Amino acid sequence: MQIAPLSAIGDGMDPGFGVYVHWPFCAAKCPYCDFNSHVRHQPVDQPRFVAAFLKEMAAVRALSGPRTVTSIFMGGGTPSLMDPRTVEAILDGIARHWHVPDGIEITMEANPSSVEATRFRGYRAAGVNRVSLGVQALNDRDLKFLGRLHDVENALKAIRLAREIFPRMSFDLIYARPNQTVEEWERELKEAVSYAVDHLSLYQLTIEEGTPFYGLHKAGKLVVPDGEQSAVLYEATQEITADIGMPAYEVSNHARPGAESRHNLTYWRYGDYAGIGPGAHGRLAIGSGKIATATERNPEAWLQRVEECGEGLVERELLDFEAQADELLLMGLRLREGVDLARWQTLSGRDPDPAREEFLIEHGFIERIGNSRLRCTPAGMLILDAVVADLAC
């Protein structure tokens, strides 16, 4: 089954309705990672977790009502630790609870160890048609530094296998690593684009509180590029990917036209999505409002809660229009296409502050696209958080 183009699913700017499934287990915890991931030294009872996923789906379906799914994403953690039969059962459950048309994007995150790569054919048979590989670096020294369990040889094997089996494939790289020069990154990125099919996710290394890297950084034992050097690395990234026809459509994501991640566009266009599994978040329209959902983060506590209560939800917050407007702005300005101003005005009940907008335009940080959209310029993307904060006031 091929992935239908966006135009076949709906309006190219339609946020859609996604389903996110979180598999929280990893073989090892990377020192930079602050995601909800957990290492277990005993085999995970996958049938028991599948039953809980299906039970929570029913509870979320009761909140969302009948919807047509435009994308499914299995993230983690490391979803490629799942047995293909587990994946098949989860996808079948989604199809029982919501309408899932043929050809929608169904993505699975995977780590490129040789053991997991052998499961790819099983995932494809289960219905997965897009894989996102956590490669992170293309030299063994930095893979070791990042705590990855694979080496470059295994990464390239996984990339080749993914290209052979799945209609679409993306992989991640982390840059702005300690002591990384622009010349080194340019060589690595040019090598990466030679392996890419239609999509790359390129993230700057960030030091997140609560991670091992945070402690090392705070103690002065881990030094990352400063703001100026990071900006140079970012600009080199934009230039190289644009030259080969994979420009940034979002701050850290690059694709050939039409190959953008349908699921992630749902987030960035502020669409609705159901979050299933330990630590999953969701946004669901309820009447004229929207609720933010979050589930219990600890896998075993989530499992017990679902088995006893039918769901793992620990947060169910009704977002007022102002909160929705802020989230729309925060997410939409990450995109090259920008924000739908009419939608933001409807939610916020106001126009952008003329003085703030004029200031940001004069300094080259934002621009209007006709009268209907507002977006960050490349310079504005470098200070995105500040731009969002200024416009939201």
| Cα-based distances in Å from 364 to 86, 207, 235, 330, 383 | 49, 28, 16, 19, 11
Q: Which CATH number fits domain 17-267: 3.40.50.450, 3.20.20.70, 3.30.10.20, 3.40.50.2000?
A: 3.20.20.70
Backbone angles phi, psi at 10, to 5 degrees: 170, -175
Span 346-362, mean pLDDT? 92
Using alpha carbons, select from 199, 190, 186 the residue that is nearest to residue 131. 199
Torsion of the alpha carbons at 319, 282, 2 and 6, rounded to the nearest 10: 10
Q: Topology of 321-392 in CATH?
A: Arc Repressor Mutant, subunit A (1.10.10)
Ranges of each domain in the chain:
17-267, 321-392
Span 291-299, mean pLDDT? 98
Rounded Cα distance between 238 and 246, Å, is 9
| Cα-based distances in Å from 76 to 128, 157, 279, 342 | 16, 22, 10, 35
pLDDT digits (tens, 9 = 90+) for 12-27: 468 999 999 999 999 9
Residue 74, strand partner residues: 21, 108
**What pLDDT is stored for residue 3 in this prediction?**
59
Rounded Cα distance between 383 and 393, Å, is 16
Backbone angles phi, psi at 205, to 5 degrees: -65, 125
- Examine the pLDDT at 10 and tell me if it is beyond 50: no
Pairing assessment for the beta strands 71-76 and 25-26 based on DSSP bridges: unpaired
In the three-class reduction of DSSP (H, G, I as helix; E, B as strand; rest coil), residue 255 is classed as strand
**What pLDDT is stored for residue 2 in this prediction?**
53
287 versus 340: the higher-pLDDT residue is: 340
**What pLDDT is stored for residue 115 in this prediction?**
65
The percentage of the chain sitting over the pLDDT mark of 90, rounded to a whole number, equals 88
